[in-house]
Structure 1
Amino acid sequence: MSSVSSATRVLLSKNVIFNSGRALSNTGRIKFYSTAPQYENIKVEVVGQKKNVGIIQLNRPKALNALCKPLFQELGKAVRDFDKDETISAIIITGNEKAFAAGADIKEMQNNTYSTNQKAGFLQEWEDVSNCGKPIIAAVNGFALGGGCELAMLCDIIYAGEKAKFGQPEINIGTIPGAGGTQRLPRYVGKSKAMEIVLTGNFIDAQEAEKMGLVSRVFPVEKLLEESIKLAERIGTHSPLIVKMAKQAVNQAYETTLKSGLQFEKSLFYGTFATADRQEGMNAFIEKRAPNFKNE
């Protein structure tokens, strides 16, 4: 996990603060209003017609949302809180127009040693995102580099603005990705492309990322968050219990053999027949009406 090279720092020297989130302005952009609990490095909001979508905006614009430890501690808490909240169906993690997150905070880790990393469990906070039971959507505008790219890959679905840039430039500063870049990237784009990205430190644009399968869809910059909220609301029309089981099944495909994955999927499929929501869903289909899921 790394920030960008010195040459790239010049490229990223101008910052743009993006207002994103709750209400639409006259220009159609979504404005973000932070609510309690108050954080220093992120903004948190609940949006959607049913108030069932949680948004977490990384908020270190002067540092291009560099992923320092305090930011990730706050991010982890916000994710855990949304995961426990039964009124929240899905979570969106976003940044601003200039950067989703342009890497790790290099100054913070510059003097780390092997022993201090081991003793402190460096990067341990990232597990809060990967362990979340609810779907997480990464809404990526601008740069998602190093740890920013790794954070996006921790999410379940990546939507990108048309000017987004992805990359793992750790090689430029004498290290390698440390939060899943070498492991998740090949699963998204294949070995050859992953090797090219990791070994060169080159960036890829949103269109190439979509073509490679790293990104699900690409939108105009000003439409990205709006479309991400629509996706989250669509997910929220389904049974939260069954959505969680479906997420577990898909994730299993990346973590085991096909044979084991098929058995895991079948076990979860059988398990849905022990839920009231499966019964309600099938009854509603047969009766040609909308289902009324109870998360049971």
Structure 2
Amino acid sequence: MDTVTVERTADRYVLTLNRPQARNAIDAAMIADLHTACGIVEDDPAPVLFTGAGDHFAGGADIGELRERRLSEALAGINRNLFDRVAALPLPTVAAVSGYALGGGAELTYACDIRIATETAVFGNPEPGLGIMAAAGATYRLPDLVGRSVAKQVLLGGHLLDAAAALRSGLVIDVVPAGEHLASGHRVVDRITASSPLALRLTKTIVDGAGAPGRVDDIVQAVLFETADKHDRMTAFLEKRNLR
């Protein structure tokens, strides 16, 4: 992967957006690399810490590519599908944000479970100024995170949330001095990894699944999958014998 680095330690992943020369703008190559990274995490789940190389988390999507996208690309939900996949990762995700998190960069942080920011952090969705909308999750995630009023100020009024405003609105868990976001993010993940992975996974499913059709089914199925009764019955089926 050229635009995302993946570091796997004993108990976590660190995914770093790696286009610092472009303020880590999210282009097609980065979307593909993030999908690959998500696949790695899905195959071997662990908490994930997202961050950006250099001074910024992600300054938005690649405008040059966006300008050329047409109806078919919009209907494909290119960025939205990626961020929905990030949001659905099985264990908690943390975004360690420095500098700009704008447009698609902001929406990637919204898809994470927890956000931490430096004093330089700025969150915003300036898409309407470019003739489009924030269509990669901001319209349904940001109101849940900060409330409808603040979300409208950002999405409709072009308001930028600096670090202090992000903290007041509940968007971030903490604000730390410049350069300390990654270490602070690791401390958050340290607290996460001290908990039961199964408890975390089910808790995230419950919280995210409120009102989502099928998620309760997933939870019930997850519990049943862990029972001895399920194992015995399926073993009997495979061995072509009856339990009674």
Classify the TM-score, shorter chain.
0.7 to 0.9
Q: Which letter maps to 1:149?
A: A
* Alignment TM-score, normalising by the size of structure 2: 0.83
How far apart are the structure 1 equivalents of 2:212 and 2:39? 26
Counterpart in the other structure of 1:184: 141
Q: Where in structure 2 are the equivalents of 1:1-296 lying within 5 Å?
A: 39-47=1-9, 51-85=10-44, 89-118=46-75, 120-123=76-79, 124-253=81-210, 255=211, 271=223
Percent identical across equivalent pairs?
Answer: 36
Q: CA deviation at 1:213?
A: 1.0
Aligned partners of 1:159 and 1:224 also within 8 Å = yes
Richer in helix (by share): 2
Q: CA deviation at 1:256?
A: 5.4
How far apart are the structure 2 equivalents of 1:181 and 1:226? 27
Aligned to 1:215, the other structure's residue is in SS state: coil
Structure 1, unaligned runs of 5 or more: 1-38, 277-296
How far apart are the structure 2 equivalents of 1:202 and 1:121? 25
Q: CA deviation at 1:238?
A: 2.0
Q: CA deviation at 1:97?
A: 4.6
How far apart are the structure 2 equivalents of 1:176 and 1:230? 35
Aligned partners of 2:41 and 2:89 also within 8 Å = no
Count matched residues: 224
CA RMSD of aligned residues (A): 2.5
Q: CA deviation at 1:197?
A: 1.0
CA deviation vs aligned residue, 1:78-103 (integer Å, no higher than 9, x gap): 122123225xx311110135211111
Bigger drift between 229-238 and 131-140 goes to 229-238
Structure 2, unaligned runs of 5 or more: 229-244
Aligned partners of 1:83 and 1:134 also within 8 Å = no
Taking a change above 3 Å as real, the CA distance of residues 152 and 275 of structure 1, as seen in their structure-2 partners, is: farther
